[in-house]
Structure 1
Amino acid sequence: MSRAAKAADSDTAGLLLKPATKLLPLDAAAARAELAELASAADEAGLERLSRYLGLKGPIQDFLGAAFDLSDFLRDAARRRPEMLDGLFDQTVEQRLETILSTILASPRAEDASENSLMTGLRALKLEAHFLIALAELAGEAEAAETVERLSRLADACVSAAIDFLLLDAHGQGKLKLRDPQHPGVGSGWIILGMGKLGAHELNFSSDIDLISFFDPEAPAVIDPMEATDLFARLSRRLVRILQDRTEHGYVFRTDLRLRPDPGSTPLAISIDAALTYYESRGQNWERAAMIKARPVAGDLKAGEAFLKELQPYVWRKYLDYAAIADIHSIKRQIHAHKGHGEIAVRGHNVKLGRGGIREVEFFVQTQQLIAGGRFPELRGRATVPMLGELARRGWISEDARDGLARQYWFLRRVEHAIQMVADEQTHTLPETDEGLRRIARMLGFAGEAEFSAALRASLQEVEGHYAALFESAPGLSSGVGNLVFTGDVDDPDTLTTLSKLGFKRPSDICRVMRSWHFGRYRATQSAEARERLTELTPALLEAFGKTRKADKALMRFDQFLAGLPAGIQLFSLLQSNPSLLRLLATIMGAAPRLAEIITRRPHVFDGLLDPALLAELPNRAYLSARLAAFVDSSAGYEETLDRLRIFCAEQKFLIGVRLLAGAIDAGRAGKAFSDLADLAIGAALDAVEAEFAIRHGRVPGGRVAILGMGKLGSRELTAGSDVDLILLYDHDADAEESDGEKPLAPSHYYARMTQRLIAAVSAPTAEGVLYELDLRLRPSGNKGPVATHVDAFRKYQRNDAWTWEHMALTRARVVAGDADLGAEIEADVVEILSLPRDGAKIAAEAAEMRALILEEKPPRDEWDVKLAPGGLIDLEFIAQVATLTGRLEGEGRTTATAAALARLSPDFADVQARQDLVDAWAFYLSLTQMIRLCLTGPFESDDSPPGLIDLLLATTDLPDVKVLEAHLKDTEKTVRGHFDRLLPASKRKASRGS
């Protein structure tokens, strides 16, 4: 035995950690290096036994090396605080976690307790607990069920400690008179309910916590009931700050109070009388579903239990009326599970909200509880898997469904934890790269991404299959369609009744439409076989459209689509055999007028939906490039190339939109896909124009062209309705005087004419529509300058004459098409121009003044104008652009993406909390704008938009109700505006040219 090994052996038998699974690192050499670095950190911290132990060889060292190689969070935490690992020489993970919880709960009563000391202590203890909980799950010491329980107990303790501190502080200031300061919550009247995963003891690794703050103004501790609302609202605000604010020590838990009644117009804390009145008179079914998991977690626990008992008649109804059943269907539609429509993509899949994901298991259990919990108290539990068991015991689901859903639920929770353990980020989306997937696979004990992908697909498909089958066969939710007779000229009374029950407001009009189909008045229904297929499809079709809420309008749009089809047999057969495709089509017609108009005007785009791999294939650049080449390369000439480009882009925009609608991709991926499509289409159009133009005018000696994408194209954030901002730059031999064709032109004239030809090729309307609306106003000198700019003139202008706003716009510039060498030179020029020294305060002040001018000249249209609203998208873009211009980004390399720039804001510019707020706001706004622009051609108006679109917005933002969405929007805009004012303080200096 070596001297080091003997020394270590004399100190300890080793860490009290017993890996039950072999963890493989991504890189064995890197894993060894991680251990060596950690040993050095331990040595510097005076932890000699840990330093020696890490230098040995053994299964625990192998496990630790792999864990630190796979998880940046674990690696960084261990380096920063190696004593957390050293503690495992003396205590097991379980023992240490119990010690941490005891320390947290005792902290408010410490003699020197202050808000700052509490915040610092909670953050340190939470980090250690998180570190240990992650290690234990990766080691296989703890199953996912134990992990979620540990995380939930940790959150309970942290919330309790913060509440006890605040109550004691209020007592010390004479604002409350506590009955027993050793137990501050007792009789305090302050009720904190844990909702969602916290209430169910099912928190995920990087979860936020949903809380509702209630109070009893008549509680013994309340001195002045008239002041109680203001007092508890202030305490609630401090509670959020204690738990959520990011300091140099991190944060405890992101805290969300938006599940309270009517969050847009109520204080942060609500009296129990007001709450009971609200729930009994105006409470929504989603709020009933949310209350299933509600649990008193801190404060006056006895009062909390009494409050929930009073709520029981609201949550657990003996009978469920038809309106409630319809509302449950509406809640279900927010999940967007499309059963059987193609393979499920693993890359980029959201294991929480995506098809076959965690939410489907949770949601089904909750809806069955709402239906049956009033009659069967044993179905009123909070935890998902035990309730699956109770549902099976009562005969609501089969034992096979119970076992399959429970097994896959815990598997998916492990996947979710692995995703979040990489960097302690609140994400549920799998990576899109080979290395990223391999990392997750290794963390879960798989050898590689292929094995993991197969297991995940099988899991998601099993959940999806059970979920769809269960919902279709669930007692109380399935019903016969009823009479549907569309013969003769007179409406059948029973058919009118059936249509009304299905959700149609104008049943007589629907009868008229159906008769026109069945009488063969459209080409698609002229053949007897087509009408037979349609007759068989009709009940399912009417049910699907009846669930779109504005069912009449949705069916009328489908009628327009049908009128344009050349034949119908294939479509009717397909829809009959593929219910998910029928539901998807109904969603498009009911929620997305823009997509419905495309599919009605150009029925051929529907062909893309027939591809069974549609939702499994990510529409990335390689995928789109291959499809474009296959579609365009055989074109017979210039005009046909342009027509094919229009057809291809229309179809691919539609299919990208369908993927977003179906939840197969998120808003960020959609923005990249729309932008990649535009890059490729503009590049192909440029190639075609150059070749066509050269036929008569030849080419300029040494001539080269490159196109700079600006705005949302440059930042790869296009939406379905975006126009594209371009600058065309050219170069040629210094001595070139004219082109070499039959009709020679001077270089400046040549490229101006060619650019005009490109503009027409892209934006002129033809029988196949418009490829893209172009905007060239960002070129040097704007509309007054030439449409094509020599690259030297561009360089000179940007260095000497450009205004600050033009340099801000340049931060998003990206070469999207044209000559590769010239493009590389331009990219280098842009980097150099953006790196020029600047007066940061001057740039910030000018940006603030420009923003004020925009607000004055183009005020927001309404509260949903996310782009122009104070605290909206423009504020975020300005912050990112100013930070880029003034060198206030961390990390290497240049980024044009707003999201990436916000995530890289340097600490000397924006603190950790501000950076997180801005990143979260951008993701939220992007989700809203992508879905709204996909579905609508005009502005969004909440009172006059398709109800199905509201469902889609709630699904994509993971919020339960439009009032909660509106409140979150207001809160987010207020937060962003506050950061904007601090980061970009205005001055009286006017915006100027140059730097």
Structure 2
Amino acid sequence: MNASAGRKSKASRWKLQPVLALKPLDAAEADGNLKDLAQTASEAGLDRVAALLAGGGAEKDFLAAVFDLSSFLHDAARRRPEFLDVLFDSTVEQRLEEILKAVAATPQRESATENTMMKELRLLKAEAHFLIALDDLAGTATAEMSVRRLSALAEACIKAAVEFLLLDAHAQGKLKLPDTANPSAGSGWILLGMGKLGAHELNFSSDIDLIVFFEPEASAVLDPYEATDMYARLTRRLARILQDRTEHGYVFRTDLRLRPDPGSTPLAIPVQAALNYYESRGQNWERAAMIKARPVAGDIAAGEAFLKELLPYVWRKYMDYAAIADVHSIKRQIHAHKGHGEVAVKGHNVKLGRGGIREIEFFVQTQQLIAGGRFPELRGRETVAMLGRLAALGWIGEEARDALARQYWFLRRVEHAVQMVADEQTHTLPEDDAGIERIAHMLGFDNAEMFSAAFRTSLLEVEGHYAALFETAPELSSGIGNLVFTGETDDPDTLKTLQGLGFERPSDICRVIRGWHFGRYRATQSAEARERLTELTPALLQAFGATRRADEAIIRFDAFLSGLPAGIQLFSLLQSNPALLKLLATIMGAAPRLSAVITRRPHVFDGLLDPALLSELPDRAYLAGRLAAFLENSKLYEEILDRLRIFAAEQKFLIGVRLLAGAIDAARAGKAFSDLADLTVGAALDAVLTEFAERHGRIKGGRVAILGMGKLGSRELTAGSDIDLILLYDHDADAEESDGEKALAPSQYYIRMTQRLIAAVSAPTAEGVLYELDLRLRPSGNKGPVATHFEAFRKYQREDAWTWEHMALTRARTVAGDKDLRDIVEAEVAEIIALPRNAVKLAKEAHDMRALIDAEKPPRDAWDIKLMRGGLIDLEFIAQVAVLGDGLEAGPRSTSTADVLARLKPDFADAGIRQALQDAYALYSALTQMMRLCLTGAFEREDLPPGLADLLLAATDLPDFGVLEAHVQETAKDVRKTFDTLLRPKRR
């Protein structure tokens, strides 16, 4: 009998008394959940818990709501109902103190092994996590209490694992600890907690960021020359103890990428080497990161000494112009969208989105870096405490302090609620009404509307203060210098000003701007337009200068101006809307593909004027409504095809802008690009069928379905994707020819009709190309007819198709055509995929195919995300083999690679591998979407627009391009290792 069960007969009141009256989404289901839990508790001998769940009162109502709203908490209570029982004898605070003591005791037990440590830490963390969440949702713990508790828990687990590893190294003769009762003291092993861990601000499902150093001359070190390898091995074991997923879950995901030059340095770095790096090559983002650095485990005294050595690097007494400018570019990707449209609630990223947590943190950190060198009291780690210090010293007003502090804790509560639903490391609000309603209820709001209003108010308040920070940024607070563009000769002071703003060829820029003022373009011919442009020029130059590829950005803007029919409206709009100007500068400086679109088709810029642009999700219904309105009254065949091209170009651009601005993420962009292709190709098919029938009539019982393959099928298209299709047709068995003026036999009819469709979609017109089509995935490839009878397709797939063709079929879905035929095709594809297969043979053939691709089509470089070893193809092959080889958990069929990787069976890939594959796919998708959006050609690392580098960092939430490169390389290495493990040919 466990301890909890031994207390079952005691009569005592449950010690968690909720303050918030939460409401379930589904009262009947909530009641059923409690009955099941009461039964489970009763069977475990936990009579007090059973009575609590079966009785009445506020506690029962609270638990009913919690377990309905959070699948994570419901599952935890179902597995471990004793978590609830302990609260009859202890408050949450008392039990958490007991758990921290138990964590601290684990490494000193004689029976301690790596496996027992992993198990005990996971079980103790699971209970603490449950209790912290329960107290938070009850309203009895503030968000500030929750983040401190989570941070204390993480710190205790790190310390315990570190002490175990040090004792183990001592026992093996690798170290000689001065005091085994206090293993960390004098060990020379320094573990700095970074970010939210360092600031005692961890979120509910947070990673922990660590940087690990060591002191080779520490008294515990036996051989300084072996120290690097030894401490690196210890650090690797530490990460495994903390983050590997076992049947008991994981402790904390651990991120070691913030160390100096992570692509080429060991996991643990000698102190002197680290100091040399920071003093000679350290970046401003690393200075910002060090604000929150705190020794959390290991040799605390050595850690404090290291940070003391770094003080002059982090806190400079004097900041020159360039340093201040760099500080303000550390997180340039977080745009201050002041006044630009309504803020979306659905799908909003609470951390990185407009008005989010990161803006408050950066607001504080920027001021700290600028002033902390002269004011030591501004060197604290905690965000809200530093807001108070900044106000006390007059750096910000009391109103800004109070507003940002209030909204910081509100947004942290929202972030916790989002993560508590399923214990997922996400910061993004749900995209559906039910999901928003769930979050509203978890936070104690009566409904989604009340929560949405409060959330928008919070974001806009943060956004206003954040934007004001940049309006008063030191380098912009006074005049920027001479800007004289009259006459034929360059003004020397103007050239200096342009150089200071970031332009490398100031004389060329003067010539371009003089051209504007001379009215050489239609947009600048009127005196009023030139006057508005003159007023706008300083802001324009500052915005383009901030792109770090300023000259190119201005040249692209010049090309854009040259095609505009008029300019007054645009110049007035940009002058009154700094966020729109910043967005335009980003497009011109970082996204050659988008800037080419806007230059060729200036009218697409009109879409940016829509105030709802960044708040409306471009889902299928939204795009379908826009398309129907755009095609209204278009009757002529050629007119329809041209209007489809115009519509697709505009919507691709606007989807891209949303991605660029952070209003949608890579996954949502992929779905939007795919929905757009579905709708426009479907409309082209309808137009072709109608036009073709006018001359050739129709086939008796004839019908057509288009099967989308590849990224279109998996709804993962990018801005520059071709689309892969198979056109299938069917007709009555007795149909001999069409009934039109020029009759055709069925096969000839559909082949000619498909050729017409290819031309309708791919042939260039004055409005460009709709999509490049690829029909090579049809039966018999390029040698076969372009249209395939459904029965021929069915027979081929069942009798003659190669394994790779069935793998490709796992991503197939119908995207257009006759509904009945589409249903038949979908059912047939599902049956083919479900056919029994030899799993060993399947894995071997997939592995051999990947090896063939490696040999015949090697990756261009380390940034060829698709083809590189451990890249997208490896992940897609793993997903496809899992689908064909019965490697998925039960559920509806999905063609999405991301969905498939999330549903891998434990016997195909354990939870840790499954999560790692999902993380890798999310990383690759974020990078691919942004690169394909911005670039028209290959990714050239040496000629990368710095603005694009910032966007890639924003998409991946990493602080530096070197860190990103190292992360991509590490991820690829891990994916290839997993690929080989899962698909390597096995001997029978």
TM-score range, shorter chain: over 0.9
Q: Aligned residue for 1:467?
A: 466
Q: Secondary structure at the match of 1:727?
A: strand
SS of 2:328's partner is helix
Q: Which residue of 2 aligns with 1:140?
A: 139
- 1:89 aligned partner: 88
Query: Is 1:665 matched up with 2:650?
Result: no
Instruction: Identify if the C-alpha distance between structure 1 residues 535 and 89 changes in structure 2 by more than 3 Å, giving closer, same or farther.
Output: same
**Aligned-pair distance for 1:988?**
9.9
Q: Give the match for residue 680 of structure 2.
A: 681
Give the aligned partner of residue 244 of structure 1: 243
User: Are positions 1:354 and 2:353 aligned together?
Assistant: yes
- Partner deviation per Cα, 1:63-97 (whole Å, 9 max, x = no partner): 00100000000000000011111111110000000
* Matched AA of 2:625: A
| Cα shift at 1:854 | 0.2
Q: What does residue 866 of structure 2 align with?
A: 867
Q: Secondary structure at the match of 1:333?
A: coil
Alignment of 1:794-833 (within 5 A): 794-833=793-832
Letter in 1 for 2:649: A
User: In 1, distance between residues paired with 2:8 and 2:58?
Assistant: 16
Matches within 5 A, 1:240-639: 240-475=239-474, 478-639=477-638
Counterparts in 2 of 1:24-63, with a 5 A limit? 24-63=23-62
Contact 1:185 1:299 in 2 (8 A): yes
CA RMSD after TM alignment: 1.1
Structure 2 counterparts to residues 841-920 of structure 1, below 5 A: 841-920=840-919
Matched, 1:984 2:983: yes
Deviations 1:684-719 (A, max 9, x none): 000000000000000001000000000000000000
Q: Which residue of 1 aligns with 2:185?
A: 186
Structure 1 counterpart of 2:787, one-letter code: A
> How does the TM-score come out when normalised to structure 1?
0.98
| Matching of residue 738 in structure 1 with residue 744 in structure 2 | no
Corresponding residue for 1:3? none
Q: Larger deviation: 532-541 or 469-478?
A: 469-478
Contact 1:197–1:293 (Cα < 8 Å) also in 2 = yes
Offset at residue 53 of structure 1 (A): 2.2
What do the CA deviations read for 1:938-957 (whole angstroms, capped 9, x no partner)? 11112101110000000110
Structure 1 window deviating more from structure 2 (334-343 vs 582-591): it is: 334-343
Instruction: State which drifts further: 389-398 or 228-237.
Output: 389-398
Distance in 2 separating the partners of 1:980 and 1:859? 17
Q: Deviations over 1:565-606 (max 9, x none)?
A: 111011101101111100000000000000000000111111
Shift in Å, 1:111:
1.4
Which SS does the other structure have where 2:112 is aligned?
Answer: coil
Q: How far 1:325 sits from its partner (Å)?
A: 1.7
- CA deviation vs aligned residue, 1:787-841 (integer Å, no higher than 9, x gap): 0000011111110010000000000000000000110011000111111100011
**Displacement after TM superposition at 1:477 (Å):** 5.5
Preserved CA contact (<8 Å) 1:849 1:987: no
- Following the alignment from structure 1 to structure 2, what is the Cα–Cα distance between the partners of residues 328 and 814? 48
Q: 1:5 maps to which residue?
A: none
Query: Can you list the C-alpha shifts for 1:837-892, whole angstroms capped at 9, x where unaligned?
Result: 00011101100000000000000000000100110000000000000001111131
Alignment partner of 1:108 is 2:127:
no
Q: Indicate the residue corresponding to 2:727 in structure 1.
A: 728
Partner AA of 1:652 in structure 2 = Q
| CA drift at 1:668 | 0.3
* Higher mean C-alpha deviation, range 883-892 or range 247-256: 883-892
2:4 maps to which residue? none
Q: Would the aligned equivalents of 2:858 and 2:867 in 1 still touch at CA under 8 Å?
A: yes
CA distance in 1, matches of 2:940, 2:320: 30
Q: Name 1:129's counterpart in structure 2.
A: 128
CA–CA distance in 1 between the matches of 2:159 and 2:8? 41
Amino acid at match of 1:792: E
The alpha-carbon distance between structure 1 residues 257 and 524, as it changes in their structure 2 partners (threshold 3 A), is same
Distance 2:146 2:155 in 1: 14
- Name the structure 1 match of 2:968: 969
Partner deviation per Cα, 1:727-772 (whole Å, 9 max, x = no partner):
0000101100000000010000000000000000000011100000
Partner-residue secondary structure (3-state), 2:422? coil
Hey, what's the Cα distance between the residues in 2 that align with 1:591 and 1:328?
20
User: Is 1:174–2:182 an aligned residue pair?
Assistant: no
Question: Could you say what secondary structure the match of 1:250 adopts?
Answer: coil
Correspondence list, 1:631-650, <5 A? 631-650=630-649
Hey, what's the Cα distance between the residues in 1 that align with 2:970 and 2:695? 60
Give the drift of 1:632.
0.8
Residue 747 (structure 1) aligns with: 746
Tell me, yes or no, if the aligned pair for 1:396 and 1:475 is still in contact at 8 Å: no
The whole-number CA distance in structure 2 between the counterparts of 1:605 and 1:475 is 35
Residue identity matched to 1:252: V
| Aligned twin of 1:120 | 119
**TM-aligned CA distance change 1:301 to 1:234, over 3 Å:** same
Partner SS, residue 942 of structure 2: coil
Matched, 1:933 2:938: no
Native 8 Å contact 2:646 2:767 kept in 1: yes
SS in 2 for 1:332: coil
Task: Say if 2:155 is the partner of 1:156.
Answer: yes
Contact 1:337-1:354 within 8 A present in 2 as well: no
AA in 1 matched with 2:94: Q
Are the equivalent residues in 2 in contact too, given 1:876–1:918 (CA < 8 A)?
yes
Matched-pair contact (CA < 8 Å) for 1:325–1:477: no
The alpha-carbon deviation at position 476 of structure 1 amounts to: 5.7
Q: What residue is the counterpart of 1:992 in the other structure?
A: none
1:112 partner SS: coil
CA distance in 2, matches of 1:247, 1:528: 72
Q: Partners of 1:164 and 1:338 in 2: how far apart?
A: 47
1:49 Cα deviation (Å)? 2.1
Residues 273, 9 of structure 1: alpha-carbon distance in 2 compared, 3 angstrom cutoff: closer
The superposition leaves residues 110-131 of structure 1 with CA deviations (integer Å, 9 ceiling, x where unpaired) of: 1100000000000000000000
Query: What is the percent sequence identity of the aligned residues?
Result: 76
Q: TM-score, normalised by structure 2?
A: 0.99
**Does the CA-based 8 Å contact 2:702-2:729 persist in structure 1?**
yes
Residue 22 (structure 2) pairs with residue 23 (structure 1) = yes
Q: What is the deviation of 1:15?
A: 1.2
Structure 2 residue matching 1:981: 3-state secondary structure: helix
Partner SS, residue 20 of structure 2:
coil
Q: Within 2, Cα distance between the matches of 1:594 and 1:479? A: 35
Look up the equivalent residue of 1:754 and give its one-letter code.
M
Classify the secondary structure of the residue corresponding to 2:144: helix
Q: CA deviation at 1:274?
A: 0.3
Indicate if the aligned counterparts of 2:840 and 2:986 stay in contact, CA closer than 8 A. Answer: no
Q: Is the 8 A contact 1:888 1:905 kept in 2?
A: yes
Give how far 1:636 is off.
3.3
Aligned to 1:4: none
SS in 2 for 1:815: strand
Q: Distance in 2 between matches of 1:517 and 1:924?
A: 42
Using the TM superposition, give the Cα deviation of residue 10 of structure 1 relative to its aligned residue in structure 2, in angstroms: 7.6
Give the Cα–Cα distance (whole angstroms) in 1 for the partners of residues 405 and 399 of structure 2: 10
Is 2:673–2:717's contact at 8 Å kept on the other side of the alignment? yes
Give the whole-Å Cα distance in 1 for the aligned partners of 2:519 and 2:421.
59
Deviation per residue, 1:653-711 (Å, 9 max, x gap): 00000000000000000000000000000100000000000000000010000000000
The DSSP-based 3-state class of the residue aligned with 1:279 is helix
How far, CA to CA, are the matches of 2:68 and 2:110 in structure 1?
41
Q: How far apart in 2 are the matches of 1:297 and 1:988? A: 47
Q: Is the 8 A contact 2:68 2:74 kept in 1?
A: yes
CA distance in 2, matches of 1:644, 1:807: 36
Indicate the SS of the match to 1:736. Answer: coil
1:397 and 1:470 in contact (8 A); partners too:
no
* Mapped partners of 1:65, 1:9: distance in 2: 21
CA distance in 2 between counterparts of 1:929 and 1:327 reads 27
* 1:771-790 equivalent positions in 2, closer than 5 A: 771-790=770-789
* Structure 1 segments unaligned to the other structure (5+ residues): 1-7, 990-995
The one-character-per-residue Cα deviations of 1:420-440 (angstroms, maximum 9, x if unpaired) are 000000000000111111000
- The secondary structure found in structure 1 opposite 2:249 is coil
Please tell me whether the aligned partners of residues 9 and 47 of structure 2 are also in contact (alpha carbons under 8 angstroms): no
Query: In structure 2, do the counterparts of structure 1 residues 706 and 839 end up closer, same or farther at CA, with 3 Å as the change threshold?
Result: same
